[in-house]
Amino acid sequence: MRLWRNFPKALCIGLTLVIVNILLGFYPKGILQNLILGQLHEKLPLPLSESDGSMIKKISRLEMDLQLLKESMKLAKMEQEKVDNPLKTAVEAKASKTKQHRPYKKLFPYSWLFKQWGEDLSEAQQKEAEDLFQKFGYNVYLSDRLPLNRSILDTRDSRCLQKTYSSQLPSLGVILIFMDEALSIILRALTSIINRTPARLLKEIILVDDCSSNGELQEDLDKQIKLHNQKHPGLLKIIRHTERRGLAQARHTGWEAATADVVTILDAHIEVNIGWAEPILARIQEDNTVIVSPVFDNIRFDTFKLLKYEVAVDGFNWELWCRYDSLPQAWIELHDATAPIRSPSIMGILAANRLFLGEIGSLDGGMLVYGGENVELSLRVWQCGGKIEVLPCSRVAHLERHHKPYAQDLSPAMKRNALRVAEIWMDEYKYMVYAAWNIPVKNSGINYGDISSRKALREKLKCKTFDWYLKNVYPLLKPIHNMVGYGRMKNSLDGTICLDRGPVPGHTPIMYSCHEFGSQNVYYLLTGEFYVGPLIAQTDADDFCLTDPGIGEQPTLEPCSKAAKNGLHIHWNFRQGGAVINRATKRCLEITKDTSGTYVLVLQICTTQVWEIQHTLRNWESHNGTILSEL
Ligand code: UDP
Ligand code: MN
C-alpha cells in the first residue's frame, strides 16, 4: 500500500532514473550510491525513507536498489492488473508457462528496453528495437506494431460514469506539440483524440512541430493529416517551427493558432481516455478562470501497458521539479470522487479557456527547452486571479520516456528556467530557489533572459505576491526564513574535500571529494541547525540535521523535527571562517586523518580548525560587523 501510494510519483521519478542511468556510465558505484540515492530519495520519499529503510538496508548497490524498486512496482502493477482484468492475466500466465526457453541470445542485457519486453525477438530485431529506443526514449519498435486505435483500460472511478453533462458545452481545440517523436506515437494520439472526443465538441486539432529532425514527421505526417482531413474537413492543422524554440514556445504557438472556446495543450505521446473532454469543458464553462489538469496514467515506455495512477495533486519542490502531492483534506471530506481538486500546480498538460489563458499571458516564451514552464504558469495563474484544478474524471495516458531525445541532462535548462521563475514571481523568497540549486543569488553567471515584459505583465494584472501564494495555495512548500549560509562546507585543513551526507541509506556524514551533486548541499540556519543533503524544506518531509549524538566521536544526521522533539543536539554555533561548536555539548566538528590517511569527521574538544560555507545570505554578520551577505 505504501508503495502503491507512490505510483503517481513515477512521472517525476522518470527524470531521476534517467539521470541515474547517465551517471552509471561515468562514476564508480560506491560514489553513485552516495551521490544519487540522496536525490532519488528526495523524489521518492516513501519507499526509501531513512526512517523505515529496513527494506533496502541489506542492499548495498545502487542498481540493486533501483532494480528492486522497479520489480516492486511491477509486482504491484501486476496485482492491479489482476484486479482490473483477471481473465487477461490468467491467459498471460498460461502463455508464459508454456514458453519453454528463450530462443535468441540477449544482445542488450543491460538495456532498459529489454528488462520486461522483447524475449522473443531475433538478434536483428533486437538491434532494430534498441536503436529506435536509444533514439526516441521509448519502444518505437512495439509502437509501430500496435494498432493506432487500440483500447486502453478505462481508469476512471465508477462514479464518473454516472455523470451527465450539458448538451451545450463549449468547443474544444486540442494542441499537440512535438519534437522528434515517432510518427506512430503521434498518429495514435490523434486517433485517440478523434475517437474519444464527441465530434460536435472537437473543433480543431493543432499540431505544432518544434523543428523535428526525423524525416517521417515531414511528408508522411502531412499525408496522414490529409487523410484525416478528408474524413473530418478542416479538423487538423500543422504549424512548423523553423528553428527549435522549446516546449513553452511550442505551446504558445499552438495557443495563438487556436480558435476554439477551450484549448487543451497536450504532449504528443499521449492517448486520451474515454470521456476525457466533457469534464474539462463543463468545468471551464462553469468558471472560465480555472486552468484544468486531467489525471495522468502511465503508458510504460517499454511494454506500452497502461499503469493506472492514483489521483493526486500537482506540486513542486524548491528546485521547481514537479512532484505529486497528497490529496487535500477538504476534497477528501467532500466524499465525491468526481469533484474537482484544487491543485497548487500543473504538470505541463493543461486545458483552459482560450481567451482567459491569453489574458494572463499564455505561456512565457522566455522559458527555454524544458522545465519550470509549468510552475511559471501555475504561479501566474494563482497569483493573477485564476485557479488550478485536477479533474478526476478526465484521464489522459501519458508515455513517460526513459530518456529525452532533446537533452541528455535536463538540469541546465531546468536550473536556468527556475531562476527565471524565481526572479519574476517569487519576490523575497527567490533565494530558496537559488539555495536549492546551490547558486549564489548575486552574480549567478546564469542568463535567464529578459524578464521586463513579464514583470510588466505582472504589474498590469495586479498579481498577488508569492507570499500570498505560499500561505494560501501551497503551504506545503516551507521557506527557511533564517537561512544565513548555504553551499559546500569546507574545512581549512583541506579545501578539496566537502561535508557530505554520506551513503544512503545511512545517517553518517562524511568528508568527500567536492562535487556538484546535492548530497554536499549544506544549509546553515541562524537558529543553529545545519541541514545536510539535498534541500527538502517542505512541511510533509524532514531535512536532515547535523547532530552531536553526545556519545562516541562521530556526528550523525537525524530528521530535524524528530531530533528537535527528542532533544538531540542539533544546534551549532558557527560564523563564516570560524569553528563549528555544538551549543549543548560544546564539542567541535573537526576532521582528522584515519589510519589510511583519509580525513574523517570527528567530534572533539575544539582545536584551531575552522570552516567556510560557500554562499552567505543577509542577516549574518561577522564578529567585526562586516556584512558577508550576498543579498
Ligand atoms: N517538446 C518540444 N520542444 C522541445 C522539447 C519538447 O516541442 O524542445 C515537446 C515534446 O515532444 C513533448 C512535449 O514537448 O510532446 C513535452 O515534453 P516531454 O514529454 O519531454 O516533457 P515531460 O512529459 O517530461 O514533462
Ligand atoms: Mn511528456
Q: Is 62 in the pocket of ligand 1 (CB under 6 A)?
A: no
- The predicted-structure confidence for 225-234, as pLDDT tens digits, reads as follows 999 999 999 9
Q: Is the domain of 513 the same as that of 623?
A: yes
Distance of alpha carbon 320 from alpha carbon 372, whole angstroms: 6
pLDDT of residue 173: 98
Residue 519 lies in a domain: yes
Residue 192: pLDDT over 50: yes
> What's the grid cell of residue 601?
569527521
Same domain, 75 and 182: no
Whether ligand 1 lies within 6 angstroms of the CB of 389 is answered as no
**Side-chain half-sphere exposure of 156, counting CA atoms within 13 A:** 23
Please say which residue of 352, 379, 399 terminates a domain.
Answer: 399
What pLDDT, on the 0 to 100 scale, is given for residue 136?
Answer: 97
Which 3 state secondary structure label does DSSP give 383? helix
Ligand 1 atom 1: the closest Cα is on which residue? 247
Q: Is the pLDDT of residue 319 over 80?
A: yes
Judged against a pLDDT cut of 60, whether residue 122 lies above it is answered with: yes
List, in sequence order, every beta strand (DSSP E) within 200-289. Answer: 202-209, 236-240, 262-267, 270-272
**Region of poorest pLDDT, from 12-21, 73-82, 323-332, 351-360:** 12-21
414 lines ligand 1 (CB under 6 A): no
pLDDT of residue 103: 77
> Residue 369: CB within 6 Å of ligand 1?
yes
Query: Could you report the per-residue pLDDT of 254-279, keeping only the tens digit for each?
Result: 999 999 999 999 999 999 999 999 99
**Lowest mean pLDDT segment, chosen from 125-139, 171-185, 347-361, 612-626:** 612-626
Confidence of residue 74 (pLDDT cuts 50, 70, 90): low
* Same-domain pairing of 185 and 288: yes
Whole-number Å distance between alpha carbons of 544 and 479: 15
Check pLDDT > 50 for residue 155: yes
Query: Is the same domain home to 184 and 293?
Result: yes
Ligand in closest contact with the CA of 185: 1
Q: Write down the pTM of the prediction.
A: 0.85
Per-residue pLDDT for 75 more than 90?
no
Q: Which atom of ligand 1 is nearest to the CA of 347?
A: 25
Instruction: Report d(CA 486, CA 530) in Å as an integer.
Output: 9
What SS3 class is residue 134? helix
- For the Cβ of 245 lying below 6 angstroms from any atom of ligand 1, the answer is no
Residue 193, SS3? Answer: helix
Distance 451 CA to ligand 1 centre (A): 23
d(CA 402, CA 112): 8
Q: Is residue 354 part of a domain?
A: yes
* Nearest ligand to the CA atom of 178: 1
Structural domain boundaries, residue 352: 169-399
Average pLDDT over residues 242-257: 97
pLDDT band at 550 (very low <50, low <70, confident <90, very high): very high
Whether residues 393 and 521 fall in one domain: no
CB 465 within 8 A of CB 593: no
Q: What is the pLDDT of residue 620?
A: 75
- Arithmetic mean of pLDDT, 426-442: 97
Mean residue pLDDT of the chain comes to 87
Q: Domain boundary at 101, 127, 142, which? A: 101
- 101, 127, 156: which is the final residue of a domain? 101
* Beta carbon of 348 within 6 Å of any ligand 1 atom: yes
pLDDT tens for 77-110 read 555 555 556 555 555 555 555 555 557 899 999 9
> How far is ligand 1, taken at its centre, from the CA of residue 443, in Å?
30
Nearest atom of ligand 1 to the alpha carbon of 15: 24
How far, in Å, CA of 480 to CA of 527, rounded? 11
- Least confident range from 225-239, 399-413, 506-520: namely 399-413
Pairing mode, if any, of strands 530-532 and 522-525? antiparallel
Q: Which residue among 15, 135, 138, 179 is best mutated to probe the pocket of ligand 1, counting the most ligand atoms within 8 A of its Cβ?
A: 179
Say which range, 46-50, 109-113, 324-328, has the weakest mean pLDDT.
46-50
Starting from the CA of residue 399, give the closest ligand.
2
The one-letter amino acid at 62: L
**Is residue 54 domain-shared with residue 203, that is, in the same domain?**
no
Same domain, 487 and 611: yes
pLDDT at 614 over 70: yes
Any atom of ligand 1 within 6 Å of the Cβ of 300: no
186 CB near ligand 1 (under 6 Å): no
Q: Whose CA is nearest to atom 13 of ligand 1?
A: 267
> Which of the two residues, 523 and 18, has the higher pLDDT score?
523
Indicate which atom in ligand 1 lies nearest the CA of residue 176: 15
β-pairing, 290-299 vs 387-399, is: parallel
Q: Are residues 95 and 220 in the same domain?
A: no
The more confident residue out of 48 and 332 is: 332
Ligand 1 within 6 A of CB of 193: no
Q: Is the per-residue pLDDT at 59 higher than 50?
A: no
Q: Which three-class secondary structure state does DSSP give residue 447? A: coil
Residue 178 CA, closest ligand 1 atom number: 11
Of 58-67, 358-367, 404-413, 576-585, minimum mean pLDDT range:
58-67
Whether 247 lines ligand 1, by a CB cut-off of 6 Å, is: yes
Using CB atoms within 10 A of its CB, is residue 55 exposed (0-12), middle (13-18) or buried (19+)? middle
Q: Is the pLDDT of residue 343 over 70?
A: yes
172 lines ligand 1 (CB under 6 A): no
Nearest atom of ligand 1 to the alpha carbon of 348: 25
Sign of the C-alpha dihedral computed for residues 389, 394, 400 and 406 taken in this order: negative
Q: Are residues 62 and 177 in the same domain?
A: no
Rounded Cα gap, residues 622 and 540, in angstroms: 34
Q: In the prediction, which pLDDT does 82 show?
A: 53
Distance CA 483, CA 597 (A): 34
Task: Give me ligand 1 centre to Cα 342, in Å.
Answer: 25
Closest CA to 397 of 130, 150, 117: 150
Under the banding of pLDDT at 50, 70 and 90, the label for residue 125 is: very high
Assign residue 259 the CATH number of its domain: 3.90.550.10
- Residue 624 maps to which CATH number? 2.80.10.50
Q: Whose CA is nearest to atom 4 of ligand 1?
A: 246
User: Do 324 and 181 have their domain in common?
Assistant: yes
Assess whether 505 and 618 both reside in one domain: yes
Domain assignment present for 265 = yes
Asked if 179 and 93 sit in the same domain, the reply is: no
Return the percent helix, strand and coil in the chain, to nearest 5.
35, 20, 45
Residue 268 in contact with ligand 1 by CB distance below 6 A? yes
As for how many domains the chain has, the answer is 3
Distance 117 CA to ligand 2 centre (A): 22
Give the H or E element holding residue 16: helix 10-24
Cα of 162 vs centre of ligand 2, distance in Å, is: 30
The answer to whether the beta carbons of residues 595 and 580 sit under 8 Å apart is: no
C-alpha distance from residue 480 to each of 112, 212, 395, 530, 534 (Å): 39, 43, 36, 12, 14
572 within ligand 1 shell (Cβ under 6 A): no
Out of 177, 245, 253, 373, mutate this one to test ligand 1's pocket (max ligand atoms within 8 Å of CB): namely 177
Given the CA of residue 371, which atom of ligand 1 is nearest to it? 25
The Cα 627–Cα 631 span in angstroms is 10
Q: Which atom of ligand 1 is nearest to the CA of 398?
A: 23
User: Which of 15, 180, 214, 267 is the pocket-test mutation for ligand 1 (most atoms within 8 Å of CB)?
Assistant: 267
In a domain, 453, yes or no: no
**Domain assignment of residue 419, yes or no:** no
Q: pLDDT at residue 531 above 80?
A: yes
532, 494, 438, 514: which is closest to 611 by C-alpha?
Answer: 494
Q: Predicted confidence band at 316 (pLDDT cuts at 50, 70, 90)?
A: very high
The pLDDT-based confidence of 628 (bands split at 50, 70, 90) is: very low
Which among 192, 220, 130, 75 has a CA at the least distance from the CA of 403? 130
